Chain A
Amino acid sequence: MSIKGELIAVFESTHETMRAERAFKERRIKVRAIMKPRVISSSCQMALSLPDEKHASAVAVISDEALRFVGFFRKSKDGQWTPEL
């Protein structure tokens, strides 16, 4: 269940999401696989929820591992998902 303010990372495919999950865990970034909100346009059904303070670390992992990444999205207080730049 998503909570307000939640940050999620979306990847190209389930395989890529699993690859990201493994890479994040290896770098001790605690993530949780969730169903991707339907309003976020991506082919993959999954997303990884991660703590706010790990945003920068996650960006580094995505770059280091050349993960096929769609983007970060954040849920605002009014429940809307917006791209996190």
Chain B
Amino acid sequence: MKRPVYLDNAATSFPKPRAVIKAIQNALENIGGSPGRGGHKMALTASRTLFSARMAIAELLGLKNPERIVFTKNATEGMNIALKGLLREMDNVAISHLEHNSVIRPLKSLEESRGIGALHAPADRYGLPDPARIPDVSALVTTGASNVTGAVADIRSLGKRFGNKKTLLIVDAAQTAGSIPFDTAGVDALICAGHKGLLGPQGTGFVWFAEGVDPIPLIEGGTGSESASDHLPSYWPDRFEAGTPNTPGIAGLKAGVEYIARRGIEAIREKEKVLCAMIIERLANDSSIILYPPFDLSARASLVTFNIKGEDPSEVAEKFSRQGIALRAGLHCAPSAHRFLGTFPEGAVRVSPGPTTTKTDIKSFFTALDSILKNR
């Protein structure tokens, strides 16, 4: 069966580099043991796999204290650890207009259980927090880049504004880690998916906390350490990683991170910008298309969101699917962003190139688009 042209990298990247597939296969065939549990060679190799994955991630993203990288099954779990572990009774939180349900839903739950108040931070024209106008709050939660519009937050300015201040800066880097270089200075908690820009398999992700930012663990259980105690160890990462981790997945994530390090985030970013420029140029010049901002390539992640006038976005995505083009329509688990964009509740169509997308893939998308528009 011919593989579709995959343009849904904002959901999960595909195809993965061969090195990622090989690393997962190697872990399943040869590592076997459970990290931190037992001293036999396979358990040791598993421990080294997690250790070296943490080190590789820390180096790629410029994170201090790699032991403060907590592996999770996705960015959503990381965000839950951050929000539920750090926010206290009656805290007030400012969020961007573009947050994913991984932020909205935990905050709603915390509003009901702990009386936490959440409000939209004063925003720039793209719905992102304006560093100069953030009120005095317990925490500011912002996406690094919106999964709906692609708008990229100014994390550097936010870090300068909130670094070492009492307001926690919590950044959802699901759409930026591995894809867009960014400065983590001043960031208190960084949440990343492993299976998007970092090219690991699904079921991987992590959250990193800065020195002195110590959340309450979300789950308790066996860690392979301090087993005689009824309590979790006090030290990182064990305190936050109860239960057997996804060693094969993390081996794949490590290979993905190393692949990106070899290619360079800047080089990937530039390549994806070229592809997005092609898409924007084609869509912007078509009167039957509604193209959503930002239009400045440096202000957007590798995704372009649009609608065909008078067409249901889900039906448009279905038409693309029939023509062998994989992209995503709907609300993208971010209804707030679509409200801001004016596309709620029907949503929009999102096309998202990745590190392995080619110009030929984009031309195939254009061919399919031409056909869809012609046959309306």
A interface residues, Cβ below 8 angstroms from B: 12-19, 21-22, 33-36, 43-46, 68
Contact = CB atoms under 8 A, between A and B. Distances in A.
Given A15-B67, A16-B67, A18-B47, A43 B225 contact: yes
Contact of A46 (B39, B50, B52, B238): B39
A44 B235 CA distance: 11
A13 B47 contact: no
A14 B233 contact: no
Interface string B103-117: 000000000000000
Contacts of A44: 225
B315 to A, nearest CB: 50
Contacts of B66: 15
B51 A15 contact: yes
Contacts of B47: 14, 17-18, 46
Given A34-B39, A43-B226, 10 more contacts: A13-B233, A14-B238, A15-B54, A15-B237, A15-B238, A17-B47, A33-B39, A33-B44, A43-B233, A46-B47
B33 to A, nearest CB: 12
B235 A14 contact: no
A6 to B, nearest CB: 14
Interface residues on B, range: 20 to 34
The main secondary structure of chain B at its interface with chain A is: loop
Nearest to A16: B67
Contacts of A12: 235
Residue picked from A17, A18, A21, most chain B C-beta under 10 Å = A18
B163 interface: no
Most buried by A among B52, B225, B236: B225
B35 interface: yes
Contacts of A13: 67, 225, 233, 235-238
A45 B51 contact: no
B40 to A, nearest CB: 8
A2 B47 CA distance: 21
Interface string B37-58: 1110000100110111010000
Contacts of B67: 13, 15-16
Contact of B224 (A16, A18, A45): A45
B36 interface: yes
Contacts of A45: 36-39, 224-225
Contacts of A18: 47-48, 51-52
A35 B236 contact: no
Nearest to A35: B39
Nearest to A14: B36
A73 to B, nearest CB: 15
Of A12, A19, A45, most B-chain CB atoms within 10 Å = A45
A26 to B, nearest CB: 12
A15 B44 CA distance: 11
Contacts of B50: 15
Contacts of B38: 35, 45
11 contacts: A13-B235, A13-B236, A14-B35, A14-B225, A15-B54, A15-B236, A15-B237, A18-B48, A22-B51, A43-B233, A68-B235
Nearest to B234: A43
A22 B47 CA distance: 12
Interface in B209-255: 224-226, 233, 235-238
A19 B237 CA distance: 13
